[in-house]
């Protein structure tokens, strides 16, 4: 049960969003493909299969290998691929590749996140949350990308702050879990304009402080990620972009878990890394919703439909895997055993309560990197069976299959034809 302690930072934050929440939309589910290459043969095949969406990723380190020096051949190839998908009738969601920073960006002042042990993130991640120099470099890259390709042409642009391009801080490190201990975050001269430095300089998780200070520190830590996305939205909107998609992994920190973490001053275990990654969806999603405007929406992209949490929830008696019509009210009222819910169900309900639209994707086969696979995860064929159904149950309007390359393997468990048939049966 959600204990009364969740009111600490959650229920009151959500209560004001009731008028924005509504029933999941009933529009036809549109299916697309992740990590699309936008080659002529594959774009044409995808269009023929009736899959009108593609997530196309590029890499900052390839586009700008040296400060202000852009790879003309790579830029031309990006333009060709974008035109190829567009000419085939496939709408593109662009991943601009800020999660692939050039080495010179990491060497900028406060260029990468550091944890309380002083370690840099591994793999290194550009510090878009706190570093002024990193943000200036990223903005210059996005301006060049707009000049070369035109950001207004894309159906949406994905924004994030981690090495996977998702929302949050990096995953757990060897010597510490939290990532706000670089010199800028601690109040140094390189702090990004509009960002706030830590309210407790020098404090380390697990050491004493008052409860009010612990709550204030967590709010600063979690809110700083939202502020970084707000900066990205402002830059992109200034360049003519419309919708932005925010890739979200997992369910973040549940209210009871957050209350317990505050009680122990953020020391001790962090089993799924959600605390260290600063994922507090009940307070962050309403703030993300406020970034929307006339120029475009902010859309939650849940990246783990049919992840291992769904597999385990499906095995319960009764099953808890599918979204239900009363989920939003359960979250609003702080009732129900949400700890039994899978990530997709909790995250969907919180997003609905904040009035945010959602799209989603399966995690990819458990043999692939960065999919969060576990021994009891569904394989690709089972994900094709369950993930689009979950997308429909949860009221999502778009679903992306992870990943294009897997559809063309000789030993593919799921082919483009399989995905086409699933799209036809799901619509």
Q: What is the pLDDT of residues 132-150, one digit of tens each?
A: 999 999 999 999 999 999 9
Dihedral of alpha carbons 85, 87, 88, 91, sign: positive
pLDDT for 25 beyond 60: no
Whether 105 contacts 128, CB under 8 Å: no
Whole-angstrom Cα distance, residue 86 to residue 93?
Answer: 11
* CA 147 to mean position of chain CA atoms: 26
Query: Which token pair is 194?
Result: 């509009």
CB atoms within 10 A of CB 118: 11
Q: Which 3 state secondary structure label does DSSP give 315?
A: coil
Whether 309 contacts 343, CB under 8 Å: yes
Q: What is the pLDDT of residues 67-124, one digit of tens each?
A: 999 999 999 999 999 999 999 999 999 999 999 999 999 999 999 999 999 999 888 8
Which segment of 2-11, 302-311, 413-422 scores lowest on mean pLDDT?
2-11
Whole-angstrom Cα distance, residue 406 to residue 404?
Answer: 5
- Predicted confidence at residue 321, as pLDDT, reads 97
265 has which bridge partners? none
- Predicted confidence at residue 427, as pLDDT, reads 64
The topology (CATH level 3) of 4-426 is TIM Barrel (3.20.20)
pLDDT for 248 beyond 70: yes
Query: Which token pair is 232?
Result: 């990205």
Q: What is the pLDDT of residues 255-276, one digit of tens each?
A: 999 999 999 999 988 888 999 9
Any idea how long the chain is? 427
Helix locations, 32-71, DSSP H: 40-48, 60-63
- Residue ranges per structural domain of the chain: 4-426
- Predicted confidence at residue 16, as pLDDT, reads 38
Whether 167 contacts 161, CB under 8 Å: yes
pLDDT for 279 beyond 50: yes
- Predicted confidence at residue 224, as pLDDT, reads 98
- Predicted confidence at residue 98, as pLDDT, reads 98
- Predicted confidence at residue 9, as pLDDT, reads 39
- Predicted confidence at residue 174, as pLDDT, reads 66
Average pLDDT of the chain? 92
Which DSSP letter does residue 352 get?
A: H
């Amino acid at each position: 049960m959600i204990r009364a302690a969740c009111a600490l930072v959650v229920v009151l934050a959500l209560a004001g969003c009731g008028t924005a929440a509504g029933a999941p939309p009933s529009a036809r589910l549109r299916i697309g493909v992740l990590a699309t290459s936008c080659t002529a043969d594959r774009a044409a095949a995808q269009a023929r299969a009736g899959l009108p969406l593609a997530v196309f990723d590029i890499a900052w380190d390839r586009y700008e290998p040296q400060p202000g020096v852009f790879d003309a051949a790579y830029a031309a190839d990006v333009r060709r691929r974008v035109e190829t998908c567009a000419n085939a009738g496939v709408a593109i969601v662009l991943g601009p590749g800020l999660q692939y920073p050039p080495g010179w960006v990491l060497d900028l002042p406060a260029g990468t996140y550091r944890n309380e042990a002083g370690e840099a993130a591994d793999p290194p991640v550009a510090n878009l949350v706190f570093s002024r120099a990193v943000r200036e470099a990223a903005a210059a890259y996005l301006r060049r990308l707009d000049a070369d390709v035109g950001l207004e042409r894309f159906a949406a642009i994905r924004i994030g702050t981690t090495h996977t391009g998702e929302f949050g801080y990096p995953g757990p490190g060897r010597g510490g879990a939290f990532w706000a201990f670089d010199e800028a975050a601690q109040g140094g001269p390189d702090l990004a304009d509009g960002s706030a430095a830590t309210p407790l300089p020098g404090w380390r998780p697990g050491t004493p402080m008052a409860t009010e200070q612990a709550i204030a520190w967590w709010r600063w830590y979690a809110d700083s990620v939202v502020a970084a996305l707000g900066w990205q939205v402002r830059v992109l909107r200034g360049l003519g972009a419309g919708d932005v998609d925010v890739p979200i992994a997992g369910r973040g920190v549940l209210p009871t878990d957050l209350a317990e973490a505050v009680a122990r001053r953020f020391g001790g275990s962090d089993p799924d890394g959600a605390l260290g990654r600063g994922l507090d969806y009940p307070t962050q999603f309403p703030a993300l919703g406020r970034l929307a405007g006339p120029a475009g929406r902010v859309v939650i992209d849940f990246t783990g439909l049919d992840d291992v949490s769904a597999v385990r929830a499906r095995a319960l008696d009764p099953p808890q895997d599918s979204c239900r019509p009363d989920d939003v009210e359960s979250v609003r009222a702080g009732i129900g055993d949400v700890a039994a819910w899978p990530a997709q169900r909790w995250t969907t309900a919180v997003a609905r309560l904040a009035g945010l639209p959602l799209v989603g994707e399966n995690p990819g086969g458990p043999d692939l990197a960065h999919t969060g696979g576990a021994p009891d995860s569904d394989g690709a064929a089972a994900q094709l069976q369950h993930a689009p159904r979950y997308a429909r149950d949860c009221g999502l309007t778009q679903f992306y299959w992870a990943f294009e390359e897997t559809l063309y393997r000789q030993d593919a468990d799921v082919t483009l034809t399989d995905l086409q048939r699933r799209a036809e049966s799901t619509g």
